[in-house]
Structure 1
């Protein structure tokens, strides 16, 4: 009983003490709230309130800069007047300086920036230096340069602001015409993805163009071209400026008196660089003036002047031929000075051995019939009127119009050279036998609008400045011809073109041997396609050619490359020694059957981007890295092939299952073969290559094609 009483008394005492403590604390706190704040704390609070108000004013002024600049300026001035030494006031000076500069009050802006530079350290001062340099750039470039060099020379300035200063310094050099120093200053900004990189690249582009103009005035086109190529290598993002450099090179060639070279270069740029067409046309006019001053009668006006002065005695003609007409060898050479049209119902016959020369802009238009039958001993020539100094763009060539008589339009043993387009067919179908289309500017032959020209029996399309033959919405037949050493693709078919390309040698062209684009579907069979600088055959955008029985070898690009749903049939070809894959399929299916695929680099068949062809009955041997490569999303069906002599037989980077049963991999056991196949057993996440059961004896090796080909010259 006594213990319980003592416990209760203890609890009561503790409760009383707790209540007393609470009352004391409450009394203290109430009195503490009534105590005055120390003066220094009150000053800081007032300053904080002022800073908040200043920041609010800055934000409101910024929002008004575009729509209410006068009100923004008023508020900024009020902020500066209220607390001239506050950080917010210095920020207001920077904003107001920008506003005044846009309004044309550069002195007022500079005065504000002077205050910031004198009264601030750190980023605001740096920004003021940069902005003042911008304003001083034209009126006092030396002072502007000092401001920017102050920023660049002191590492206390923020790196991000130093980049801005470097950009401004480079643009200052550009404005001063010191192009090489501008390039050197701006170059570091192009090395990484800095925010200033686009502006720096544009500055470099302008500096390159400016220095190119200086070099052009120096009449040294070789130095100009070499320097321009160096700049393109240094700034690969500016590859387009190569055309600009070459444009100025054309001017340098003209000023150096090399008028033919200047004309060729300007014409090529007008053809290949649409953005320079107007400038090139103007440059060509200047070249024509220089030619006329030297007495070179390349155009009609200069020719007529020479005739009037008794300096020109060649027969000449332009106009309509409404009745049957014969041009004789005795009257040769005949100069066409302008458009000459064989009207519907009329026939123009040109005797063997005759030479027809075309002035700049002249063209022979056939609306009726043209019979030009030369002989091996006496070919007919269509050529430039400037025989001693021709260019590939001197005449406009021969145009077969829609109304021309297909059955009575034939060219035999004709040489057509130095024309912008050798032969153009607009919904017309002439026949060409043993003709040579050479050294023409834009194409040896151009067929459009359903035209169906026939080239056969050892026609030669060679050494044209660009494409050998171009077909757009046409159906061409090319048999037993030579397509050699053209400056672009040997043959290019586009816009649903069709036709037959059979028994030709297509060699050593600067582009692809054959390019098929935009739903074109020719039959390409029994040709030799070799030594081209691009692909042997390039198919793109729904092109679906049938490629059979060809010798496709030693091309620098792929033997055959098909992209974007170009589902080609590739059968019974020899594809050998090509530099960049024998067969590449990208987003394309089709059939690859019965081909010899030998000694190419680095793979035999390369399926990319969901390409899933049927690969059947091929002999794939000695192709560097892998016999068959399957990229992401690709799942070809692989059966009946011999896949031998590569480092890997099949290498997949796809998550899909690849069916590859029934192939012959040589005399190798399953364990070693598994090491030559890369799939999910080697890399987690890949699909599986199902290669069992496998053939234990080799399938029949496809025979190498032996096409009947024309002899090389």
Structure 2
């Protein structure tokens, strides 16, 4: 009898420990992380089998060296660290196999880590990536960079900050960043096309001395708290901003520069103010401006040629003294500092040049 009782107790203990072991594995799965820091001095691949990679200090990819990151890899930053690219970064995921750059914290927040910084002269690529919870998601200081089909969101400052270099930003979702979705302060050639830029403090900011070619076309710039597009730069000779849908921001365009600007062929709707000019002499023609609280307004220090725009109605914009029967968006100014006559009686055709 005692022998049977002893066997029963042993069996019960064995079953209990087996159950607890299986339960703990289900409740607390073990993740084997690869910790990385310091210099990468030879071509390196961060493989899916070794994912996640936890950045425990700055990682620096040397000039002439390529870091390749495989699809579905997670790169988790353990503190205020950067991935600094002086060579080449190839991070090309796939539609259902995204590469993620994120925080290591269990409860992540914007600003948990620093940035992916491009400082070298070589070309890099980010496709099908998620970049989140950094300070600046991406910082381009030099080189050439292609960013496509990625999500750049929840960073504490700018989603993408462009200081110099050549960059193509296409077909991305750039949202909920604490500064600008895209911040352009320089560059040899910058193309921003077919992106959705939404729910940032500002959508796109242009500042500094922009002497090179800047193309901002066919983007949806929506629901940003401040400006859809903020024009603050001191040079716009080679800047083209056309065919963008700019909607539900506070300002569609906010123009703060003395340098003359030309805004044309954009669709500007449902903003508090479609376009607001602080200072300078400017032109805005052949735009659709409608369903805004105010279509356009100017300060006393600005002069604007706003002829040949469509204001939402064939009767033109409403102005209490110059066009009191206009049923389109209201405009400010005194008729001298904001000239809106002549106006279009139908929407523009964006395919016309």
State the SS of the aligned residue for 1:593: coil
Q: What is the TM-score normalised by the length of structure 1? A: 0.41
Counterpart Cα distance in 2 of 1:317 and 1:520:
42
Counterpart Cα distance in 2 of 1:624 and 1:341:
53
Counterpart Cα distance in 1 of 2:339 and 2:350:
28
Match in the other structure for 1:395:
113
State the SS of the aligned residue for 2:184: strand
Counterpart Cα distance in 1 of 2:80 and 2:228:
30
Q: CA deviation at 1:366?
A: 0.4
Deviations 1:201-228 (A, max 9, x none): xxxxxxxxxxxxxxxxxxxxxxxxxxxx
Counterpart Cα distance in 2 of 1:432 and 1:701:
39
Q: CA deviation at 1:514?
A: 0.7
Counterpart Cα distance in 1 of 2:121 and 2:295:
45
Shift in alpha-carbon separation, 1:347–1:482, aligned structure 2, 3 A: same
Shift in alpha-carbon separation, 1:377–1:540, aligned structure 2, 3 A: same
- Residue 305 of structure 2: which of 591, 604, 607 is its match? 591
Counterpart Cα distance in 2 of 1:372 and 1:465:
25
Is it true that 1:539 corresponds to 2:183 in the alignment?
A: no
Alignment of 1:375-454 (within 5 A): 375-386=94-105, 388-401=106-119, 403-406=120-123, 409-448=124-163, 450-454=164-168
Q: CA deviation at 1:434?
A: 0.6
Write 1 or 2 for the structure with the bigger share of strand.
2
State the SS of the aligned residue for 2:161: strand
Alignment of 1:469-480 (within 5 A): 469-474=182-187, 476-480=190-194
State the SS of the aligned residue for 1:330: helix
**How many residue pairs were aligned?**
312
Shift in alpha-carbon separation, 1:322–1:630, aligned structure 2, 3 A: same
Q: CA deviation at 1:546?
A: 2.8
Q: CA deviation at 1:702?
A: 4.3
Shift in alpha-carbon separation, 1:339–1:598, aligned structure 2, 3 A: same
Match in the other structure for 1:518:
233
Query: Do the aligned residues in 2 keep the contact of 1:524 with 1:545 (CA within 8 Å)?
Result: no
Query: Do the aligned residues in 1 keep the contact of 2:305 with 2:339 (CA within 8 Å)?
Result: no
Match in the other structure for 1:459:
172
Q: Which runs of 5+ in 2 are unaligned?
A: 1-29
Deviations 1:318-373 (A, max 9, x none): 01111111111111100011110110000111111111111111110000111111
Q: CA deviation at 1:554?
A: 0.7
Counterpart Cα distance in 2 of 1:624 and 1:593:
14
Q: CA deviation at 1:452?
A: 3.2
Match in the other structure for 1:580:
294
Counterpart Cα distance in 2 of 1:516 and 1:415:
28
Q: CA deviation at 1:564?
A: 1.8
Structure index of larger Rg: 1
Shift in alpha-carbon separation, 1:624–1:443, aligned structure 2, 3 A: closer
Match in the other structure for 2:348:
704
Deviations 1:102-130 (A, max 9, x none): xxxxxxxxxxxxxxxxxxxxxxxxxxxxx
Shift in alpha-carbon separation, 1:367–1:598, aligned structure 2, 3 A: same
Counterpart Cα distance in 2 of 1:439 and 1:605:
41
Is it true that 1:494 corresponds to 2:207 in the alignment?
A: yes
Write 1 or 2 for the structure with the bigger share of helix.
1
Shift in alpha-carbon separation, 1:570–1:349, aligned structure 2, 3 A: same
Q: CA deviation at 1:589?
A: 3.3
State the SS of the aligned residue for 1:490: strand
Counterpart Cα distance in 2 of 1:530 and 1:638:
21
Q: CA deviation at 1:379?
A: 1.0
Counterpart Cα distance in 2 of 1:592 and 1:419:
40
Shift in alpha-carbon separation, 1:329–1:636, aligned structure 2, 3 A: closer
State the SS of the aligned residue for 2:214: strand
Q: Which runs of 5+ in 1 are unaligned?
A: 1-310, 607-617, 643-699, 708-713
Q: CA deviation at 1:581?
A: 4.1
State the SS of the aligned residue for 1:547: strand
Query: Do the aligned residues in 1 keep the contact of 2:289 with 2:295 (CA within 8 Å)?
Result: no
- Residue 550 of structure 1: which of 266, 275, 284 is its match? 266
Query: Do the aligned residues in 2 keep the contact of 1:493 with 1:520 (CA within 8 Å)?
Result: no
- Residue 195 of structure 2: which of 474, 478, 481 is its match? 481
Query: Do the aligned residues in 1 keep the contact of 2:304 with 2:337 (CA within 8 Å)?
Result: no
Shift in alpha-carbon separation, 1:550–1:459, aligned structure 2, 3 A: same
Shift in alpha-carbon separation, 1:484–1:638, aligned structure 2, 3 A: closer
Match in the other structure for 2:91:
372
Shift in alpha-carbon separation, 1:570–1:427, aligned structure 2, 3 A: same
Shift in alpha-carbon separation, 1:621–1:471, aligned structure 2, 3 A: same
- Residue 317 of structure 1: which of 36, 39, 46 is its match? 36
Segments ≥4 residues shifted beyond 4 Å: 603-606, 635-639
State the SS of the aligned residue for 1:443: coil
Deviations 1:77-114 (A, max 9, x none): xxxxxxxxxxxxxxxxxxxxxxxxxxxxxxxxxxxxxx
Q: What is the TM-score normalised by the length of structure 2? A: 0.81
Query: Do the aligned residues in 2 keep the contact of 1:584 with 1:605 (CA within 8 Å)?
Result: no
Alignment of 1:617-656 (within 5 A): 621-623=326-328, 629-630=333-334, 634=336, 639=341, 641=342
- Residue 244 of structure 2: which of 527, 531, 554 is its match? 527
Counterpart Cα distance in 2 of 1:426 and 1:446:
8
Shift in alpha-carbon separation, 1:414–1:637, aligned structure 2, 3 A: closer
Counterpart Cα distance in 1 of 2:142 and 2:282:
27
Q: CA deviation at 1:571?
A: 1.9
- Residue 223 of structure 2: which of 505, 508, 521 is its match? 508
Shift in alpha-carbon separation, 1:546–1:584, aligned structure 2, 3 A: same
Shift in alpha-carbon separation, 1:624–1:704, aligned structure 2, 3 A: closer
Counterpart Cα distance in 1 of 2:116 and 2:36:
15
Query: Do the aligned residues in 2 keep the contact of 1:583 with 1:604 (CA within 8 Å)?
Result: no
Q: CA deviation at 1:433?
A: 0.8
